[in-house]
Structure 1
Amino acid sequence: MGANLEITEKLQNYINDFGLTLNPVQQEIIDYNNTLGDIKRMQVDPSQCYFLHLIIKISNIKNVLEIGTFTGLSALSILLALPNDGKLIALDKNEETNKVALNFFKKANQDHKIETKIKPALESLNELKNNKFDMVFIDADKMNYKEYYERSLKLVDKGGLIIIDNVLWHGEVVDKDNLDKYTINIREFNSYVSNDKRVEQIIVPLGDGMTVCRIL
């Protein structure tokens, strides 16, 4: 029986050497986030940037919604993959990090493809209830994941994608002794999605774990 490899740092570096090359502005965002201390954990892993890029290209995705933007690494990865007439709507409630992200988008000449909404995501989702997207990427406050997921299902047609980050939660989801409210919430969310007959889904062990759902 086959098994997944354990990805050591050395092996990860090898994979990176033979994969896609980051855009210089993507690397600038990573370097900037490394100056922020512990909060840099909110950033997606570069391997997830490559994955999002290829998913968008392969699926001919043009309209994307992102819930949770931080300083813009995942958003820029999406923007770089979108066609010139593609569109990303990015939701985040932090005005300061959004300003940082917008500067990076402009520097990468991708700001014409993006619209940002700065308020609690559930409020923005109410405003977007009549919109349709090819893909939704969820990477925001974990306690609202189920609500974000349910709202996203109404915004994506059959064959579209919903991708959710942090579903392995630093590996804590398998520690039955961990009763932290966030860990419990992620476990319950994963179970909910796994049993949802409206989608077919798989957990991809990139970064902190990503669930990819295809709407049936």
Structure 2
Amino acid sequence: MGANLEITEKLQSYIKDFSFELNPIQQEIIDYNKTLGEIKRMQIDPTQCYFLHLIIKVANIKSVLEIGTFTGLSALSISLALPNDGKLIALDKNEETNKVAVDFFKKANQDHKIKTIIKPAIDSLEELKNEKFDMVFIDADKMNYKRYYENSLHLTRKGGLIIIDNVLWHGEVVDEKNNDKFTVNIREFNKFVSDDHRVEQIIFPLGDGMTVCRVL
């Protein structure tokens, strides 16, 4: 029986060499984030950039809502895959990192597709309640994941996708001795989604784990 590989730095480099090239601005964001210290962990993994690009192309996604933007790598990855008339609304409450992200969007000539909203996501989601999206990507504060997910269900068209990052939580979800509030919250969230008959879902071991849900 096959088993998932441990993705070492050397293997990561090999994957990069034999996949399509990232946009130079995507790489610039990755390099910039490396200078940020511990906070760089908020960035998605490059393999997730490839995945988001492919799934948007294959599913003909045209409208996306992102909850949690940081310095813009996931948003830019999404926008580059969207058609020229596609749209992405990116939610984040951090003005400083949002400014960095917007500068990168402009540099990549993608700012015409991306609208950023700077305020707590819960407030923004309420204001967007009459919108419909082909896809929602959730990568924000983990304690609010269930609220973001419930809102996303109402904002995603039937057959659309909800993708949630960090669902394996550095592997700690399977450590029965780890009962800190974040790990417990992710475990409970994963169980909730698994039992939710409004979607069909699978967890992919990319980056820190991604759940992909198709809305039924």
TM-score by length of 1: 0.98
CA distance in 2, matches of 1:66, 1:37: 24
List runs of 5+ in structure 1 lacking aligned partners.
none
Residue 129 of structure 2 aligns to a residue in which SS?
Answer: coil
* C-alpha deviation, 1:14, in angstroms: 1.4
Name the counterpart of 2:176. 176
Indicate the residue corresponding to 1:90 in structure 2. Answer: 90
Partner amino acid, structure 1, of 2:130:
N
Superposition pairs for residues 22-61 of structure 1, below 5 Å? Answer: 22-61=22-61
How many residue pairs were aligned? 216
> Which 5+ residue runs of structure 2 have no aligned equivalent?
none
Shift of 1:172: 0.6
1:194-213 equivalence runs, <5 A: 194-213=194-213
Letter in 2 for 1:17: D
- Separation (CA, whole Å) in 2 of partners of 1:8 and 1:41: 17
Amino acid corresponding to residue 11 of structure 1 in structure 2: L
Paired amino acid for 2:206: L
Give the residue type in structure 1 aligned to 2:93.
K
Q: What percentage of residue pairs aligned between the two structures are identical?
A: 82
- Amino acid in the other structure paired with 1:195: D
Aligned-residue offset at 1:20? 1.9
After TM superposition, the structure 1 = structure 2 runs for residues 27-176 of structure 1, keeping only pairs within 5 Å, are 27-176=27-176
Per-residue CA deviation, residues 109-156 of structure 1 (Å, 9 max, x unaligned), is 000001111000000000000000000000000000000000000011
Aligned-partner SS, 1:136:
strand
Instruction: Give 1:3 shift.
Output: 2.2
Q: 1:35 & 1:5 partners in 2: Cα distance?
A: 28
Name the TM-score, length of structure 2 as normaliser.
0.98
Runs of 4+ displaced beyond 4 Å = none
SS of the residue corresponding to residue 34 of structure 1 reads helix
